[in-house]
Structure 1
Amino acid sequence: MKTISSVVEHYIKTKPFLLSALSQGIINLTSLARTMMPELEQELGKDIKQGAVVMSLKRLSEDLDFRVNHKIVKVLKNIGEITVRSSLTDFSFAVSDTILNKQAELIKTINANPDVFYTSSRGVNETNIVVSSSIKNVVEKLFSDEKQIARTEDLASITVKLPKDNISTPGVYYYIFQRLAWEGIIINEVISTSFEFTILVSEEEVDLAFKVIKDLKNL
């Protein structure tokens, strides 16, 4: 049986930014209830009182404050080393039968220069290669026969080490990316392992992105 509390919770959970704002107590519950009521009444098939919606939102926000903040903040406070690299170029190539051989040649070149940044990720149809801009000409030459889908220059990377309990705590990545989105930061690419993730942003936004992530440790 549908109740006011259940439809209110469903409404909030389908709107991630609203969910975050509610959990942080930065939203006017009365105004939110007024906005929600037409949809809730349609869902329940009857008229409801605004006060009942407000009370459901209040209970939900208190519950979210515990579930979201206490678990996630514990992980974020233990964020490890944050490493920034600048002057990067991101290449995107179509997957082919020969592209792995080209990558092997590129890795041989990079191994001779440990100061060069390199990372790669492969999807179903695309392979991304991110390198220091100082060797972008090497990539262009080695992959000249491959189908280049896109190339983005003047990028910077931010690599973050996460504590081991991040893999058993839901919402950690969402919380981080939500904070970056609130600041209007555009993420060009995300590359992750079990306990580490790297984001690529424009060099113009890297200082702000670094501050946002660093500040998470002080929540």
Structure 2
Amino acid sequence: MKTISSVVEEYIKKKPFLQSALAQSIINLTSLSRIIKPEIESELGKDIRNGAIVMALKRLSDDLEFRATHKIVKVLKNIGEITVRSSLTDFTFLLSDSILDNQTKLIREVNKNKDVFYTSSRGVNELNIVVNNTLDNTVEELFKHERCTQKAENLSSITVKLPAENVSVPGIYYFIFQRLAWEGIVLFEVISTTNEFTILVNDEQVDVAFKTIKDLKAL
């Protein structure tokens, strides 16, 4: 049997930004109840008092705040080193029978200069390569027979070291990326390992992105 609380919770779960705002107690619950009242009544098939919806929202916001405060925020406070690199280029190629051989040749070139940035990830249909723009000509020459579907220039990367417990607490990445979305940050790439992740953003947005992530440590 559906209850007001269960229907309200299901509604809020489908609105990630609304859910975050509730957890931070920055929404007027009475005003929100009036806005969502028609949908809640439609789902339950009966008239509902605003006060009942407000109470359901209050219980939900308290629960969300508890979960954020005692789990996610605890991990975010222990974020480690944040490393920023600039002057990067992001290449995307379609997979082919020869692409790994060309990537091997590129790695040999990268190994000649330990100071250059290089990272790569492979999907089902695409291979992604991110390098310092000083290697743009090298990549284009080595992969000239491959099909490049995207080349994005003037990018910066932000690499974040996460505490080991990040793998056991749900919502860490959601919380971080939600904050970035709130600031209007466009993510060109997200590359992760077990205890760190790297985002690729436009050079013009790197300062805001860095501050947004850094401020998570002060929650």
What TM-score, normalized by structure 1, do the two folds share?
0.99
SS of equivalent to 1:53: helix
How far the C-alpha of 1:18 sits from its partner, in A, is: 0.6
Q: How does 1:1-219 map to 2 (within 5 A)?
A: 1-219=1-219
Give the partner amino acid of 1:148.
Answer: C
Give the partner amino acid of 2:55.
Answer: M
Instruction: Work out the number of aligned pairs and report it.
Output: 219
Give the partner amino acid of 1:47.
Answer: D
SS of equivalent to 1:205: helix
The CA RMSD measured in Å over matched residues stands at: 0.6
Find the aligned partners of 2:2 and 2:148 in 1 and give their Cα distance: 52
Identity of paired residues, percent? 69
Deviations 1:56-88 (A, max 9, x none): 101110111001222000000000000000000
Find the aligned partners of 1:120 and 1:127 in 2 and give their Cα distance: 7
Question: Unmatched 5+ residue regions in structure 1?
Answer: none
Give the partner amino acid of 2:67.
Answer: R
Find the aligned partners of 1:28 and 1:186 in 2 and give their Cα distance: 29
SS of equivalent to 2:22: helix
Question: Unmatched 5+ residue regions in structure 2?
Answer: none
Give the partner amino acid of 1:7.
Answer: V
SS of equivalent to 2:155: strand
SS of equivalent to 1:96: coil
Find the aligned partners of 2:188 and 2:90 in 1 and give their Cα distance: 9
Find the aligned partners of 2:208 and 2:19 in 1 and give their Cα distance: 24
Find the aligned partners of 1:5 and 1:58 in 2 and give their Cα distance: 10
